[in-house]
Amino acid sequence: MTLTATEKKFILHWGEMGTRWGINRTVAQVHALLYISGRPVPADEIATTLSVARSNVSTSLRELQGWGLAKVTHVLGDRRDHFETFQDVWAMFKLVAQERKRREIDPTLAMLREAIEQSEKDGEKPARERLEHMLEFFQTLTDAFDEFVKMSPGSLRKVVKYGGKLQKLLGVGT
């Protein structure tokens, strides 16, 4: 696959941003290539296009599959596995947000609950109160998040787009 200058720029940038988000650069670049290509791509073509080892591509694809961001598909007349990703960025955002919540927020909620329980046993009232405030904060955000992910991508787009207008309508704001 021959990439245009714009496609190369996007893939390189997505890889750089991936490292800032805690994602391996190659994993992010493979994801960007799958997204920008808009078609199923075999692993060997990904490796050639990105000039990375085939083993690195396989590892990256497994990671993306673990996140639900890549899936195997088959192309008529070709025995190789091909890979594709979401083309709807809102659906992609929802999936990434759900996975990050599962990997990062849910364990934090569990730890806070355990810490509060332990602080009650130990009689650590000031620490327990701070932990309860932290738990309330995370639980409130989680409850709101759970409502957002129930929405279709189109509904979510509208809510985000009209968020500022909704604040004015409700008389709440910054």
- Only one residue has tokens 């694809």, namely 61
pLDDT digits (tens, 9 = 90+) for 28-72: 999 999 999 999 999 999 999 999 999 999 999 999 999 999 999
List the beta bridge partners of residue 84. Answer: 71
DSSP at 69: S
Measure the N-to-C terminal CA separation of the chain; round to a whole number of Å: 48
**pTM above the 0.85 mark?**
no
pLDDT digits (tens, 9 = 90+) for 67-124: 999 999 998 999 999 999 998 888 888 888 899 999 999 999 999 999 999 998 888 8
d(CA 53, CA 38): 22
